[in-house]
Amino acid sequence: MKVINDQRTNEAALSEYFAEKAVKALIEEAELTPKPGLVDQNNSGSHHDLNIDLMIRSAKSLHDTFAEIGRISFKRVPDQSLREDIAAIGRHGENVMFQATGGTNTHKGAIWAMGLLTSSAAIHPLGTTPERIAVTAGKIARFADRFAPKKATHGTVIQQRFGAPGARGEAELGFPHVVGAALPALYDARNKGIPEPLARIDTLITIISRLDDTCLLHRGGMDALKAAKEGAKTILDKGGSSTQAGWRSLQQLDAVLIEHNASPGGSADLLAAALFLDSLP
């Protein structure tokens, strides 16, 4: 994109650039097929209120949210003021999302993760490593948002019940499942010559195998989380989605999660985050 090579790169151009990358990553995650228990181009997985068109419409509706987060974060130092500024933009983005989807929650978790990473990317110069961007995003996340709604969310309830770190914990730790699991899995698959769609599926499966996904816990409890992790590990043990045995196990995991009415939505959000960081120069 022109903005990368233009010496007159400015705040507005970079903000648009990061927003385009963020939305593209969300759409690529939604379109990746097949994904166990998740909305894809084949079906809606365990989600009776979602479909692929709705997911894409939701992602596109968030462009201005990410652009504004990038603009307001440009070359700033992580502090409580920045944390609260981007939180306010994120809450507005949630309302925009709900308007676009008719009240259905499609990307609330993704707004949190992608918003933090977009903010961090705007702080740093182009060419900053994904690891450093994730670390700075973690610094931002650890500041308190004094204006956050006091109402408990599904995520906080599940965190208290099961002790899982959840989306907040993942961010505050600097996105370890993104930089420590997802991106290495993606690079490894590419190095092996695995086609890009299958490399991305294996990346998602790697996240599922390791993450205490609060979306799974919310919809299916510990049984669903255990089934998802064990099923994902089986796929990887059989060589991943590019092998016949791995592909069959992937289909079996999809059936198991649908039976549990469970969806690894947190893992999907982290896959999108990984795709976003991977797309940056």
Cβ neighbours of residue 75 closer than 8 Å, sequence gap 6 or more: 122, 123
Total domains in the chain come to 1
Q: Residue 182: which residues within 8 A CB-CB, separation 6 or more? A: 203, 206, 207, 270, 271, 273, 274
Residues of the chain with pLDDT under 50: 1-5, 7-8
- Check residue 189 and give its pLDDT: 98
CB 116 within 8 A of CB 98: no
pTM for this model (two decimals): 0.94
The pLDDT of residue 7 is: 36
Provide the pLDDT for residue 3: 45
Q: Give the residue numbers spanning the domain of 19.
A: 2-279
Q: Which two tokens stand for residue 18?
A: 């990061």
Amino acid at 45: G
pLDDT at 86: 98
In sequence order, which residues have a C-beta less than 8 Å from that of residue 102 and are 6 or more positions away? none
pLDDT for 8: 39
- Give the per-residue pLDDT at 157: 76
Tokens describing residue 24: 């593209």
pLDDT tens-place string over residues 259-281? 999 999 999 999 999 999 999 99
C-alpha span between 171 and 116 (Å, rounded): 8
Q: Whole-number mean pLDDT of the chain? A: 94
Query: Which tokens belong to 107?
Result: 């990307």
Give me the pLDDT at residue 165, please: 87
b/e 96-119 (16+ beta carbons within 10 angstroms → b): bbbebbeebebbbbbbbbbbbbbb
Q: How far apart are CA 117 and CA 56, in angstroms?
A: 20
Asked if 71 and 237 count as a contact pair (C-beta separation under 8 A), the reply is no
Query: Minimal CA–CA distance to 276: which of 6, 70, 57, 41?
Result: 70
Reading the block at residue 223, the tokens are 């049984």
User: Of 220, 229, 227, nearest to 267 (Cα)?
Assistant: 229
d(CA 162, CA 167): 14
Farthest-apart Cα atoms in the chain, separation: 54
| Percent of the chain as helix, strand, coil, to the nearest 5 | 70, 0, 30
What pLDDT sits at residue 163? 78
CA–CA separation, 125 vs 132, rounded Å?
11
- Residue 37, phi-psi category: left (phi > 0), alpha (psi -120 to 50), beta (remainder): left
